[in-house]
Structure 1
Amino acid sequence: MFQQTLRNFSINLDALNERNTWTGGDLMTGRLTFDLTKDTKISSIVLTVRGKAHVHWSTSGGGGGRRRRRRRNHSAKLEFFNIKSALLQVTSVTTKLQPGTHVYPFSCQLPQGNFPSSFRGAHGQISYTLSVSVSRPWHLAKDFVTEFNFVHHIDANQSDMLAPLAGSNSMTLCCLWCASGPISMTVRLERKAFVPGETVKIACEFGNGSSRTATAKACLSQKQAFYTHNKISKIILSKQLAAAQGPTVKPRTDEDRAVTTDIMLGIPTSVAYTVSNCSILEVSYCITVSLGVKASPDLVVLFPIVICDTPPYVAPPPY
C-alpha cells in the first residue's frame, strides 16, 4: 500500500502576516515534506493552487400528488484561477527516490485580480486550496489538499468608508381617536467600515412623547445571498451576530428632555469579511438600532456597514 510507503506528508506554508492570510499578487512560499519507507518510483509531483466558488440548495416543488414530493436543485460554480507547476518531473520511469525524508521547497505567485475573500456559508463557499498530486508509474495519483485563507483587501480609507452615517425616524401611537406625542430617534455612526473584534460606538438621541416606556437596542446582522448564474434563482439567509441593550426611555420624554446616550456594540472576532465581488455569493452586514414600545411596532434605523481586514486610519483630533 502506498500509504504505508509514503508517510508524514505535510504542506507547510510560510506565513506572510499574523493573521495567516494571502491576497492577490502575494508570493506564496513553503515546503512539501514526506517520508519514504523504501525505494519508490515517482513519475511526477505537481503543485496546484486554485480559487473557486460553489453554491447549492434545494427547494420543494409545488402542486399536488407526485409534484409535491419533487425537489428542485439549484447550483452554480465559478473558478477564479487554477495554477499548476511541477515540483518533480522524472524523465525516466526507472528513477527511484531513496528511503528517508524528502523536502521540496516551492513558490507560487498568486494572480492579481478582483477575487473575493474566503467564506463558508449555509449553502455555499468560496475556497482557495493548495494541492499536491504525487504520481507513480501505472498507479493512480495520490492527492493531498490544504486550504488557505484568502482576503480581498477593501480600502477602508476611501471617503465613503470614512464618512459618518446618520439616520432618524419617528412615529406616533394611536388608540381610537387619541394620538400620543411623537416617539423619535436620531442615530449616528462614526464611519461605515469596521474590522472584526472592533467595538462600534453608536451615538443615539431618543424622545418618547407617549405614555408608555420605550426600550432601545442595537444589533449586528449578517445576510448571506446565494445565486445561480445570471441570478435566475436565489436564496437569502439572515442571522443576528451580536446585540447590545440601550437605555430605557421613560414616558413623556419630549424633545427638550431627550435621552442622549452611546450604545457600544461589539463585532465578533470570528465574523467573515464582506463579500460583494462574487456573482453567485454575497455577504453583507447591517447595524439595526431600534426603540421598542409595548404593543407597538419597533421604531427602527438601519445602517449597512462593511467588514474589512484592515482598520481605517482615523486622524487624531487637532489640539
Structure 2
Amino acid sequence: MKNVFSSGDLVTGNISFELTKETKITLISIKMKGGVAVHWSTGGGKNRRHYSAKEEFFLLEGVIMQESGGMLLLDFPSSFRGAHGVIAYTLTVGINRPWHMTKSFVTELNFISHIDINQPLLWAPHSGSNSKTVCCLWCASGPITMTVSLNKKAFCPGETVKVICQFSNASTRTVTPTLKLQLKHRYYTYQRVRPRILSQTLASVTGESVRAQTSDVYTELMLTIPSSASISISNCSIIEVDYILQVSLGMKASLDLVVLFPIILYEASAYSYPPLTL
C-alpha cells in the first residue's frame, strides 16, 4: 500500500502474514482516523497557563472480509507536524486470536489536501511597489523607490522563484535588496483568541547593492523553496500554515523598504492533471 494519499483517493492495500504454525484467527478489524491537536503554554510557576484544542476529522471502523475493500478519503487538511500542533492520519489493523489479546499494527498515512490550483488568481502576474524618503537631521534626500513583480502565486516545494525588481535610489546612501521566504504557523484554541504565532525565515538571497544617485536599476532575484517545506494549510480550524515572499531594500540607520507577496505552496504529486496556465 502506498503511503501518500489525497482527497478522493481510495485507500486500499494488502495484509500478509508470516506464520510458523497453523494459527486460528477469529477477526481482522481495520480502523482509520484523522485529527488535529494543538498545545502550548505561557508564563511560569503559578502563572503558567496552558492552551490546547483537539478536533477529530473522522473515525472509520470495520471488519475486513475476504474481498478487499477500501475507504474513500475526503478533503481534510494535509498531514502536518509543528512545534505546537499536529495533523495526523493513521490506519490500524487489529488481529484477534482465541485466548490472545488483540494485536494492533498502526501505519501513519501521509495525507495531502487538494488545493484548487485552477484559480486564475494563482497563475496571474503580481506586482507591488513602495517608496520612502531618507532624512538626516533637518535634511531630506531624494526618494528611494522599488517596484517588484512576480509571475505567479502558486509554487511547489523545491521550485525556484524568480522576482523581477526595478530600483531607483535618489538618496545619498547605498541600498541592498534581499529576498526572503517567510513561514508563519498559527495555532488556535476553540475560541480562536490569543493564537500562538511562530515565524521563520526558510530561505533568503541577497542581490547586488544599488549605489546612491542611480535610477532604473533592473535585477532578478532567484530563490529556491526548500524541498522539505510543508504545503500551505488554510482549511483547518486550529492550525494555519502561510508563506510570504518578502522583498526588502536595506540601508544603514533606517528601516528597510519592504514589499510582501503572500504565496501558496502545493504538492504537485497530489494532482494527476497539469495546472491551468494562462
- TM-score, normalized by length of structure 1? 0.81
Within the candidate set 14, 24, 30, 1:47 is matched to 30
- Whether 1:211 aligns to 2:169 is no
Within the candidate set 223, 228, 233, 1:265 is matched to 223
Whole-angstrom CA distance in 2 between matches of 1:105 and 1:124: 38
Corresponding position of 1:243 = 204
Corresponding position of 2:64 = 87
Q: Per-residue CA shift, 1:68-103, capped at 9, x if unaligned?
A: 434222111111111112126xxxxxxxxxxxxxxx
Asked if structure 1 preserves the Cα contact closer than 8 Å seen for 2:10 and 2:73, the reply is no
Asked if structure 1 preserves the Cα contact closer than 8 Å seen for 2:32 and 2:90, the reply is yes
- Whether 1:224 aligns to 2:224 is no
Asked if structure 1 preserves the Cα contact closer than 8 Å seen for 2:120 and 2:276, the reply is no
Following superposition, the deviation at residue 235 of structure 1 comes to 0.4
- Whether 1:169 aligns to 2:130 is yes
Following superposition, the deviation at residue 138 of structure 1 comes to 4.7
- TM-score, normalized by length of structure 2? 0.92
Corresponding position of 1:312 = 275
User: Match of 2:13, SS?
Assistant: strand
Asked if structure 2 preserves the Cα contact closer than 8 Å seen for 1:274 and 1:306, the reply is yes
Whole-angstrom CA distance in 2 between matches of 1:28 and 1:295: 58
Structure 1 regions of 5+ residues with no counterpart? Answer: 1-12, 62-67, 89-103
Q: Per-residue CA shift, 1:228-278, capped at 9, x if unaligned?
A: 11313420101111111112100111xxx3211111111111111100000
User: Match of 1:247, SS?
Assistant: coil
Within the candidate set 110, 113, 132, 2:72 is matched to 110
Q: Percent identity?
A: 52
Corresponding position of 1:195 = 156
Letter in 1 for 2:60: I
Whole-angstrom CA distance in 2 between matches of 1:148 and 1:258: 51
Structure 1 window deviating more from structure 2 (137-146 vs 115-124): it is 137-146
Letter in 1 for 2:166: E
Whole-angstrom CA distance in 2 between matches of 1:139 and 1:59: 46
Whole-angstrom CA distance in 1 between matches of 2:82 and 2:50: 17
Following superposition, the deviation at residue 109 of structure 1 comes to 2.5
User: Match of 1:291, SS?
Assistant: strand
Whole-angstrom CA distance in 2 between matches of 1:209 and 1:69: 56
User: Match of 1:160, SS?
Assistant: helix
Whole-angstrom CA distance in 1 between matches of 2:56 and 2:100: 28
- Whether 1:292 aligns to 2:275 is no
Whole-angstrom CA distance in 2 between matches of 1:199 and 1:30: 36
Whole-angstrom CA distance in 2 between matches of 1:111 and 1:117: 12
Q: Per-residue CA shift, 1:32-55, capped at 9, x if unaligned?
A: 123233344433211111111111
Corresponding position of 2:271 = none
Q: Per-residue CA shift, 1:158-193, capped at 9, x if unaligned?
A: 122112111111111111110011011110111111
User: Match of 1:161, SS?
Assistant: helix
Letter in 2 for 1:241: L
Aligned length: 273
Asked if structure 1 preserves the Cα contact closer than 8 Å seen for 2:11 and 2:73, the reply is no
- Whether 1:31 aligns to 2:8 is no
Corresponding position of 1:275 = 233
User: Match of 1:69, SS?
Assistant: helix
Following superposition, the deviation at residue 137 of structure 1 comes to 3.8
RMSD, aligned CA: 1.8
Asked if structure 2 preserves the Cα contact closer than 8 Å seen for 1:31 and 1:105, the reply is no
- Whether 1:124 aligns to 2:70 is no
Q: Per-residue CA shift, 1:7-35, capped at 9, x if unaligned?
A: xxxxxx1x3xxxx5211221111111232
